[in-house]
Amino acid sequence: MLLAGITTLLLLPVGTALAWWIAKSQGRWRDIVTAVVSLPLVLPPTVLGFYLLVALGPFGPGGQLASLWGARTLAFSFEGLVIGSMVYSLPFMVLPLRMAFKAIGREPLEAGATLGASNNRIFWRIAVPLALPGFMSGAIMTFAHTLGEFGVVLMIGGNIPGETKVLSIAIYDFIERGQWVEAHIVSAGMVLFAYVVVTTAMQIQRIGARQ
């Protein structure tokens, strides 16, 4: 829960900036950036986890960053897990926001500019309120995806109790130890949570469409 919450909060500003730029940009870089952001949707978790492990390891940028406070690596740490979670959950924040920003259309923004509003004021007073369903949907989907991820988390975080062990890995441990009752309880809870997330996101999208 902590990992999913921190990842969602950190991705809100990052995803908002990326989604706004993608929605409004007309340059050739738009498609390239959109494709890079969408990669975690199609890459096998082991492939993404491997490259994140290399990047966060002692010989990658993560190791150089960790050396600033005397650590050797960001891999197999909670901080590294947050960075990895932000990468593989990024499309679940950016894509709903991009759709919400594009759905606004040009007219409301042009009307604000005609009335003399600055770009910042147009964004915060017009775009953000109109895209609120996209923010809610993106936050919910990001939280749920981070909570349920297994492959990438296991590769870059390992299975360290109290630091990098998450619910999906706990289910795997229960099954390995033959604790089927505990595995059923946690799995059923995640199924129920996933159902609530999906139905909530659908309701938010309907409200946004009506607005």
pLDDT digits (tens, 9 = 90+) for 7-50: 999 999 999 999 999 998 887 888 899 999 999 998 888 888 89
Per-residue confidence (pLDDT) for residue 15, from 0 to 100: 95
The amino acid that residue 164 corresponds to is T
- Which is more confident, 197 or 53? 53
pLDDT digits (tens, 9 = 90+) for 111-137: 888 888 888 888 898 899 889 888 988
Per-residue confidence (pLDDT) for residue 8, from 0 to 100: 93
Give the mean model confidence (pLDDT) for residues 181-208.
82
Give the mean model confidence (pLDDT) for residues 101-107.
87
Per-residue confidence (pLDDT) for residue 133, from 0 to 100: 87
Give the mean model confidence (pLDDT) for residues 194-202.
81
Per-residue DSSP letter, 77? S
Give which of 204, 74, 207, 198 is closest to 145, Cα–Cα.
198
96 and 142 in contact (C-beta within 8 Å)? Answer: no
**How many other C-beta atoms can be found within 10 angstroms of the C-beta atom of residue 85?**
28
Give which of 37, 149, 168 is closest to 93, Cα–Cα.
37
103 and 27 in contact (C-beta within 8 Å)? Answer: no
**Domain edges within the chain:** 2-210
pLDDT band at residue 109 under the 50/70/90 scheme: confident
HSE (side-chain half, CA atoms, 13 Å) at 178: 0
pLDDT band at residue 89 under the 50/70/90 scheme: very high
Which CATH code, of 3.10.129.10, 3.40.50.800, 1.10.3720.10, 3.90.380.10, is assigned to 2-210?
1.10.3720.10
The length of the chain, given as a count of residues: 211
15 and 145 in contact (C-beta within 8 Å)? Answer: no
**How many other C-beta atoms can be found within 10 angstroms of the C-beta atom of residue 52?**
26
- d(CA 25, CA 99) in angstroms, rounded, equals 13
Those residues whose C-beta lies under 8 Å from the C-beta of residue 71, and which sit 6 or more positions away, are: 77
- d(CA 171, CA 148) in angstroms, rounded, equals 11
pLDDT digits (tens, 9 = 90+) for 47-67: 888 999 889 888 888 888 887
